[in-house]
């Protein structure tokens, strides 16, 4: 055990910090779930990519920097410390990217990773369907082989970033006679292909963060299949592991929120009751615990380990922590907490309300926390299946 | 940056785990409850062969010369086995305290501690009770600004029977001129603060082990006990109760391991890290105890069932070396008043680079 950064890691931190200080936009960008905000975030991603920081753990040839996972955590810490924009292409760079790295052919890596790094192609997720939510193995949308193409029919829903994204990755049933986890194939679909209809859905915050996507005889070349035909479930589970386990929600994000929460409570120290102050400190501590656990996971991965079912422990922990932090902040804000961002009396309040609305989705997306608890019980603890 | 333990420390942990599983099952815990001392010199000697009491004793005094990072792995196994022997007071607290004092006290006692021939009880300021005084060969008696070595017979001790029959507690008073003074003033206070940190860390590590055991017991019961024609662990309500325990355990652990690193290196934020660990592990173990009892139902509420052995360990260790509330308050002071560095990058001191 050695819980110190090396000189090289310290130097990397300093370099990232200096670059971010010089490049992070002074004014926050508009939400990426609006048309203008989406494009503004795409521009920011290009700036990041030109600086070599789009996805530091990727090999240089794909637009990355060849860093290890500790350096990735350092990058994330500096990124959130600098208050840099949210990552509009997170579905791509954090979820699909690592999956392509693991399952993709050399041609697929060369084709998809560089434009993903630059956000020339922004990705939406296509997992859920109207009748396949928590029960994802009930997928009905089909991708039927026709020569050197798949013909896709059916519907996906809750496709995050679907309203403005360029591409969608998802699971489709390639064997029409199959059921459950068998006979599914992981396919990459351009959203401008003939036969694709995208219908944006306004979320709880009023913005179009996700969409329904309809497929009507959409033809996609076989080269867009990731992993073997019929093995899509396995590929998707790897993606879900990245999502729940490590990449999507790096600890720095929650440490940044925890710091804001502590600062909020410090600024109102004379008015914050002891019980709330206690909760603030517990939130801070849990953000630290999440950080420690992530560094521990990274140590394990660097030594050749893999992320398995324990990703479900993480997902529950960060999503519930995020919600608690925002609930605690709104409690501290008291009567102001019902104000929206534009209210004259609402300085600094709107951010917490926006964050709260977003945090409410945490226990739902990336697999509901109830599903995660089932996974923990059955696959980590070994309890009998229901 | 590497969070993994050395292979040799893991090996030592496995050796101890195997030994305790074989030689210290719940039946042994119950048998010891019925003895006058509640302790076994024979068991202590066997633990000394593995190297437990001498783990932190320097090699020149016959110990293994290892640090707290290795120690927490062993304490975890002691907790898992509900071992009542004084592995916290003698091995984790007294041994390094004597080591730091050096001189004749170290030379006189450390070889005997490492050999399993001497048990040392420790009284720390702020803690109301001393454990294991009845089997101790030496009492290290700490007060504000003063540390003395006192023969256990020379102190006035009153036994304070505890809810956990494994705990043997005493309130202790000593005449002002009793024993031999080892340190005073700031030096004494620093040594006693170090001792408290080590004790709290060891208790936190034991709590992680207790938590693991409680979870294992509950999983095992839920997998075997059938109602409505299937194991109760197949019901989501039961699954989710135990999944929550697994989450708490998973996130207490790295806090304990990081605290071990900070204690071993006397890091500037050591006390904060220890308090985070003790609070997290204590809360995880108390939570595990509640959930495990609920999963067991009425059978878990009996004296015959072994569950309460481990519940009582959770309760008593949560109190030992500062209960959760004390450690929580130390976190509150550090974060809200003392302005420790917080936010992204601060965890391992990246902020200051």
| A-proximal residues of B, 198-257, CB under 8 Å | 215, 219, 222-223, 230-231, 233-236, 238-240, 242-244, 246-247, 250-255, 257
Q: Is residue A2 part of a domain?
A: no
Which one of B324, B341, B343 makes the best mutation probe of the A interface by having the most chain A beta carbons within 10 Å? B343
The residue of chain A with its CA nearest to that of B7 is A1
In whole angstroms, what is the distance from residue B245 CA to residue A264 CA? 31
User: Is the predicted pLDDT of residue A348 greater than 90, yes or no?
Assistant: no
Q: Is residue A103 part of a domain?
A: no
Range of the domain at A294: 249-380
Token reading at B245: 């325990």
Q: How far is the alpha carbon of B326 from chain A, nearest alpha carbon, in Å? A: 12
Same structural domain for residues A14 and A79?
A: yes
Other C-beta atoms closer than 10 Å to the C-beta of A350 total 15
Say whether A76 and B1 touch across the interface (CB within 8 A). Answer: no
The CATH number of the domain holding residue A140 is 2.40.110.10
Same structural domain for residues A212 and A257?
A: no
What is the pLDDT averaged over residues B156-170? 97
In whole angstroms, what is the distance from residue A250 CA to residue B82 CA? 37
Same structural domain for residues A277 and A201?
A: no
- Considering only the beta carbons, identify the residue of B5, B344, B353 that sits closest to A252: B344
- Considering only the beta carbons, identify the residue of A5, A285, A383 that sits closest to B239: A383
Task: Answer whether B10 touches A (CB < 8 Å).
Answer: no
Token reading at B16: 């101890």
Q: Are A250 and A290 in contact (CB under 8 A)?
A: no
Say whether A377 and B240 touch across the interface (CB within 8 A). Answer: yes
Longest dimension (CA), chain A: 72
The CATH number of the domain holding residue A376 is 1.20.140.10
Same structural domain for residues A301 and A330?
A: yes
Other C-beta atoms closer than 10 Å to the C-beta of B281 total 35
Say whether A374 and B69 touch across the interface (CB within 8 A). Answer: no
The tens digit of pLDDT for each residue in B71-105 reads 999 999 999 999 999 999 999 999 999 999 999 99
Say whether A289 and B219 touch across the interface (CB within 8 A). Answer: no
Say whether B243 and A290 touch across the interface (CB within 8 A). Answer: no
| B279: chain A residues, CB-CB within 8 Å | 285
Same structural domain for residues A253 and A224?
A: no
The pLDDT, as a whole number, for residue A306 is 84
Q: Which pLDDT band, with edges at 50, 70 and 90, does B156 fall under?
A: very high
* Catalytic residue (choose from A71, A76, A231, A243): A243
Same structural domain for residues A151 and A215?
A: yes
Same structural domain for residues A220 and A260?
A: no
User: Is the predicted pLDDT of residue A247 greater than 80, yes or no?
Assistant: no
**A243 tagged catalytic:** yes
What is the value of ipTM here, to two decimals?
0.97
Q: Is residue A339 part of a domain?
A: yes
The residue of chain A with its CA nearest to that of B234 is A386
Say whether A77 and B345 touch across the interface (CB within 8 A). Answer: yes
Same structural domain for residues A280 and A374?
A: yes
**Mean pLDDT score across all residues of chain B:** 97
Task: Answer whether B16 touches A (CB < 8 Å).
Answer: no
Closest of A186, A182, A183, A214 to residue A198, by C-alpha: A214
Q: Which pLDDT band, with edges at 50, 70 and 90, does B250 fall under?
A: very high
The tens digit of pLDDT for each residue in B17-49 reads 999 999 999 999 999 999 999 999 999 999 999
Domain finish residue from A70, A88, A106: A88
Q: How far is the alpha carbon of A220 from chain B, nearest alpha carbon, in Å? A: 40
Looking from the CA of B327 toward its CB, the CA atoms found within 13 Å total: 30
Domain finish residue from A198, A231, A264: A231
Say whether A284 and B335 touch across the interface (CB within 8 A). Answer: yes
Same structural domain for residues A276 and A362?
A: yes
The pLDDT, as a whole number, for residue A262 is 97
The CATH number of the domain holding residue A37 is 1.10.540.10
First to last CA, chain B: 15
Distance of CA B104 to the CA centre of its chain: 28
Q: Which pLDDT band, with edges at 50, 70 and 90, does A342 fall under?
A: confident
In whole angstroms, what is the distance from residue A121 CA to residue A110 CA? 13
Give the relative orientation of helices A69-81 and A274-302 as an angle to the nearest 10 degrees.
150
- Considering only the beta carbons, identify the residue of B6, B342, B350 that sits closest to A262: B342
Same structural domain for residues A210 and A175?
A: yes
Q: Are A156 and A198 in contact (CB under 8 A)?
A: no
User: Is the predicted pLDDT of residue A227 greater than 50, yes or no?
Assistant: yes
Q: How far is the alpha carbon of A196 from chain B, nearest alpha carbon, in Å? A: 39
Q: Is residue A116 part of a domain?
A: no
Q: Is residue A238 part of a domain?
A: no
Q: Is residue A364 part of a domain?
A: yes
Same structural domain for residues A279 and A321?
A: yes
- Considering only the beta carbons, identify the residue of B242, B331, B345 that sits closest to A381: B242
Beta bridge partners of A30: none
The tens digit of pLDDT for each residue in B291-339 reads 999 999 999 999 999 999 999 999 999 999 999 999 999 999 999 999 8
- % of chain A residues with pLDDT over 90: 89
Using CA atoms, how far residue B308 sits from A185, A216, B1, B296, in Å, is: 50, 62, 40, 11
Q: Is residue A240 part of a domain?
A: no
Q: How far is the alpha carbon of B35 from chain A, nearest alpha carbon, in Å? A: 36
| B258: chain A residues, CB-CB within 8 Å | 3, 292
Query: pTM for the complete prediction?
Result: 0.96
| A254: chain B residues, CB-CB within 8 Å | none
Q: Which pLDDT band, with edges at 50, 70 and 90, does A243 fall under?
A: low
What is the pLDDT averaged over residues A356-385? 96
Q: Is residue A117 part of a domain?
A: no
Task: Answer whether A146 touches B (CB < 8 Å).
Answer: no
Same structural domain for residues A225 and A291?
A: no
Q: Which pLDDT band, with edges at 50, 70 and 90, does B353 fall under?
A: very low
The tens digit of pLDDT for each residue in A281-322 reads 999 999 999 999 999 999 999 998 888 888 999 999 999 999
- A186 three-class SS: strand
Domains of chain A: total: 3
Using CA atoms, how far residue B282 sits from A241, A292, B191, B239, in Å, is: 30, 18, 24, 22
The tens digit of pLDDT for each residue in A82-110 reads 999 999 999 999 999 999 999 999 999 99
């Amino acid at each position: 055990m050695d819980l110190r950064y090396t000189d090289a890691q310290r130097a990397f931190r300093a370099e990232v910090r200096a670059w971010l200080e010089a490049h992070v936009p002074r004014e926050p960008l508009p939400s990426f779930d609006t048309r203008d905000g989406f494009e503004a975030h795409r521009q920011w991603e290009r700036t990041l990519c030109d600086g070599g920081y789009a996805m530091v753990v990727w090999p240089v040839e794909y637009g990355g920097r060849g860093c290890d996972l500790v350096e990735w955590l350092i990058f994330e810490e500096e990124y959130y410390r600098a208050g840099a924009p949210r990552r509009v292409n997170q579905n791509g760079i954090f979820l699909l990217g690592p999956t392509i790295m693991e399952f993709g052919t050399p041609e697929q890596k060369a084709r998809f990773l560089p434009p993903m790094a630059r956000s020339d192609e922004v990705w939406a997720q296509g997992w859920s369907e109207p009748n396949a939510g928590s029960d994802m193995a009930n997928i009905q949308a089909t991708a039927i082989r026709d020569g050197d193409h798949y013909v896709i029919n059916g519907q996906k829903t809750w496709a995050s970033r679907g309203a403005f994204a360029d591409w969608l990755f998802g699971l489709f049933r390639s064997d029409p006679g199959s059921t459950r986890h068998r006979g599914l194939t992981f396919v990459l679909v351009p959203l401008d292909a003939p036969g694709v209809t995208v219908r944006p859905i306004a979320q709880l915050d009023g913005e179009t963060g996700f969409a329904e996507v309809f497929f009507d005889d959409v033809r996609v070349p076989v080269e867009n299949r990731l992993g073997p035909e019929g093995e899509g479930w396995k590929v998707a589970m790897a993606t879900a592991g990245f999502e729940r386990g490590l990449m999507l929600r790096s600890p720095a994000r929650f440490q940044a929120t925890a710091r804001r929460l502590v600062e909020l409570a410090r600024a109102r120290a004379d008015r914050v009751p002891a019980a709330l102050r206690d909760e603030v400190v517990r939130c801070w501590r849990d953000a630290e615990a999440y950080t420690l656990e992530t560094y521990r996971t990274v140590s394990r991965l660097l030594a050749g380990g893999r992320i398995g079912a324990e990703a479900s422990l993480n997902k529950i922990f960060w999503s519930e922590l995020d919600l608690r932090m925002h609930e605690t902040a709104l409690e501290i804000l008291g009567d102001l907490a019902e104000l929206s961002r534009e209210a004259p009396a609402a300085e600094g309040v709107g951010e917490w309300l926006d964050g709260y609305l977003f945090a409410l989705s945490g226990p739902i997306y990336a697999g509901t926390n109830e599903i995660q608890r089932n996974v923990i019980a059955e696959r980590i603890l070994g309890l009998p299946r229901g | 940056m590497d969070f993994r333990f050395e292979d040799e420390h893991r090996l030592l942990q496995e050796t101890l785990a195997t030994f305790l599983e074989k030689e210290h099952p719940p039946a042994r815990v119950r048998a010891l409850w019925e003895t006058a001392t509640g302790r076994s010199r024979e068991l202590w000697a066997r633990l000394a062969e593995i190297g437990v009491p001498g783990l932190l004793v320097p090699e020149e005094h016959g110990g293994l010369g290892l640090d707290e990072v290795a120690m927490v792995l062993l304490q975890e196994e002691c907790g898992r086995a509900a071992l009542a022997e004084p592995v916290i007071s003698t091995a984790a607290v007294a041994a390094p305290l004597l080591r730091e004092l050096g001189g004749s006290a170290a030379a006189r006692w450390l070889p005997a501690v490492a050999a399993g021939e001497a048990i040392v009880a420790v009284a720390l300021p702020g803690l109301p009770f001393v454990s294991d005084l009845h089997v101790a060969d030496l009492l290290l008696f700490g007060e504000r600004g003063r540390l003395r070595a006192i023969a256990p017979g020379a102190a006035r001790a009153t036994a304070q029977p505890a809810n956990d029959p494994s705990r043997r507690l005493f309130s202790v008073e000593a005449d002002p001129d009793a024993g031999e003074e080892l340190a005073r003033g700031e030096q004494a206070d620093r040594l006693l603060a170090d001792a408290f940190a080590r004790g709290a860390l060891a208790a936190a590590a034991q709590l992680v082990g207790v938590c693991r055991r409680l979870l294992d017991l509950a999983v095992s019961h839920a997998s075997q006990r059938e109602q409505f024609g299937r194991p109760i662990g197949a019901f989501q309500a039961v699954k989710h109760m135990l999944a929550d325990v697994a989450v708490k355990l998973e996130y207490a652990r790295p806090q304990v391991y990081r605290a071990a690193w900070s204690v071993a290196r006397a890091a500037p934020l050591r006390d904060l890290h220890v308090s985070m660990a003790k609070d997290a592990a204590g809360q995880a173990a108390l939570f595990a105890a509640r959930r495990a009892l609920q999963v067991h139902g009425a059978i878990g509420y009996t004296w015959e069932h072994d569950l309460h052995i481990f519940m009582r360990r959770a309760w008593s260790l949560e109190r030992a070396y500062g209960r959760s509330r004390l450690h929580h308050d130390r976190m509150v002071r550090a974060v809200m008043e003392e302005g420790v560095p917080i936010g992204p990058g601060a965890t391992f001191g990246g902020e200051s680079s």
